[in-house]
């Protein structure tokens, strides 16, 4: 069983990945991800409005949630509004609420999203979809903290922190008269750019492992593995749907898995030109010395993990690798692998 586990030649070592769950659920080790985390930590201490920009599927809502959770408002609600999903004639009611009889079908009073978010945070997703005629009323709430329910003369006060998000170029929308300039500047006090996945390729492996772990729980299949070949294919794809598409691909691959191996299905036309050459080409047979050492190190760590830290004897790492214990010990010294059989949970190796 242990030998079979190791002999899955492309088994991608999760202990080597050391999944990085950083700030409030944000996963990523790239410079772009770390920059976003730093911005979240900085702006969360304030009450200023934040505008999160980026393509669909890059995790803008996750950024908003992280800002709220790290703020002094975290004990109050985070209310979400998908502005793209609100019918044009219901925006005012959705934001500010209405009283009974305010319009046909208003059979009872309704509290709007601003009141629900009082003391907390209101996340306006796809803020560029808000109709121009309503933008002035939204601006008033942001400036004065006051609004009126639809059909009511009473002025109500709220204390709400705004985090807005859009995949549009709002500067262009302002120039073309589709978005109020004063509202744009009110929202864009602290801009955060959510970077596309294709521009932070180093985040793909930990994200894929995170989604795979979720798929394991859903499918109750702890034997699913992500191969090195799978990771290479994922990293070569340009992800037009970003993180959301990656999650869908991993979940679909888990459902289609055979004998514990994922079936990763990606459109070939979206693979970047920098894709590594196929394994059967001559170039694939060339391995540099650093690559060989990294491959050997990975293999030895996998054997040690599979053997529970046992180096020699039956079912030990040396037997799994088909090496003499003295040879394995020599290679471990050469590769600076220090292994202690009693180790902290979740840590497979201690490196100098």
**Three-state SS at 314:** coil
Among 146-155, 259-268, 339-348, the minimum mean pLDDT is found in 339-348
Least-confidence region, from 103-107, 232-236, 274-278: 274-278
Q: For the residues 134-145, what does the mean pLDDT come to?
A: 92
Span 212-268, pLDDT tens digits: 989 989 988 878 888 888 888 899 999 999 999 999 999 999 999 888 788 888 987
What average pLDDT does range 298-323 have in this prediction?
76
Write the CB contacts of 87 (distance below 8 Å, at least 6 apart in sequence). none
Over residues 52-76, the pLDDT tens digits come to 999 999 999 999 999 999 999 999 9
Give the Cα separation of 168 and 106 in Å (integer): 33
How far apart CA 251 and CA 211 sit, in angstroms, is: 7
Report the range of poorest mean pLDDT among 115-119, 166-170, 296-300, 342-346: 342-346
> What is the per-residue pLDDT for 23?
53
**What confidence score (pLDDT) does residue 100 get?**
80
pLDDT of the residue at 28: 83
Residue 249 · residue 265 · CB < 8 Å: yes
Residue 338 DSSP code: B
| Cα–Cα distance for residue pair 70/40, rounded to 1 Å | 8
CA distance linking residue 143 with residue 139, whole number of Å: 6
Q: Rounded to the nearest 10 degrees, what angle do helices 228-236 and 242-255 cross at?
A: 150
Judge whether residue 313 has pLDDT over 90: no
pLDDT digits (tens, 9 = 90+) for 18-29: 334 445 578 888
Q: Dump pLDDT digits (tens) for 163-218.
A: 999 999 999 999 999 999 999 999 999 999 999 999 999 999 989 988 998 998 99
CA 213 to chain centroid: 14
pLDDT (mean) for 149-171 = 92
For residues 126 and 56, what is the distance between their CA atoms, to the nearest angstrom? 10
The pLDDT of 139-160, averaged and rounded, is 90
CB atoms near residue 333 (< 10 Å): 10
pLDDT exceeds cutoff 90 at 343: no
Mean pLDDT over each residue of the chain, to the nearest integer: 81
Listed as own residue / partner, the contacts of 274-283 with beta carbons closer than 8 Å and 24 or more positions apart are 274/236, 275/236, 276/232, 276/236
State how far the Cα of 275 lies from the Cα of 272, in Å rounded to an integer: 6
Judge whether 194 and 30 are in contact, CB under 8 Å. no
Q: Are 83 and 129 in contact (CB under 8 A)?
A: yes
């Amino acid at each position: 069983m242990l030998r079979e586990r190791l002999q899955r030649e492309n088994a991608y070592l999760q202990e080597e990945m050391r999944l990085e769950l950083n700030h409030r659920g944000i996963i990523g080790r790239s410079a772009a991800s770390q920059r976003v985390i730093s911005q979240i930590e900085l702006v969360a201490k304030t009450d200023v409005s934040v505008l999160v920009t980026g393509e669909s599927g890059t995790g803008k809502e996750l950024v908003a949630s992280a800002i709220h959770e790290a703020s002094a408002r975290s004990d109050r609600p985070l209310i979400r509004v998908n502005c793209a999903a609100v019918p044009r004639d219901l925006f005012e009611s959705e934001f500010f609420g209405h009283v009974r009889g305010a319009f046909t079908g208003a059979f009872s009073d309704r509290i709007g999203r601003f009141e629900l978010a009082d003391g907390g945070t209101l996340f306006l997703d796809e803020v560029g979809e808000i109709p121009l005629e309503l933008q002035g009323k939204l601006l008033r709430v942001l400036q004065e903290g006051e609004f009126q329910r639809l059909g009511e003369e009473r002025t109500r006060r709220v204390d709400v922190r705004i985090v807005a998000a859009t995949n549009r170029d709002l500067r262009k929308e302002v120039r073309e008269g589709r978005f109020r300039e004063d509202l744009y500047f009110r929202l864009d006090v602290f801009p955060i750019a959510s970077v596309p996945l294709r521009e932070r390729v180093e985040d793909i492996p930990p994200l894929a492992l995170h989604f795979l772990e979720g798929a394991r729980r859903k499918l109750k299949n702890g034997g699913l593995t992500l191969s090195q070949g799978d990771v290479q294919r994922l990293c070569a794809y340009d992800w037009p749907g970003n993180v959301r598409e990656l999650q869908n691909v991993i979940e679909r691959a888990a459902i289609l898995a055979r004998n514990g191996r994922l079936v990763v299905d990606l459109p070939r036309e979206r693979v970047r030109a920098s894709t590594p050459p196929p394994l059967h080409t001559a170039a694939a047979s060339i391995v540099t010395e650093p690559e060989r050492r990294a491959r050997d190190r990975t293999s030895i760590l996998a054997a040690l993990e599979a053997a529970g830290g046992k180096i020699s004897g039956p079912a030990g790492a040396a037997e799994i690798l088909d090496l003499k214990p003295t040879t394995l010990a020599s290679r471990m010294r050469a590769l600076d692998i220090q292994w202690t059989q009693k180790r902290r949970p979740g840590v497979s190796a201690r490196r100098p």
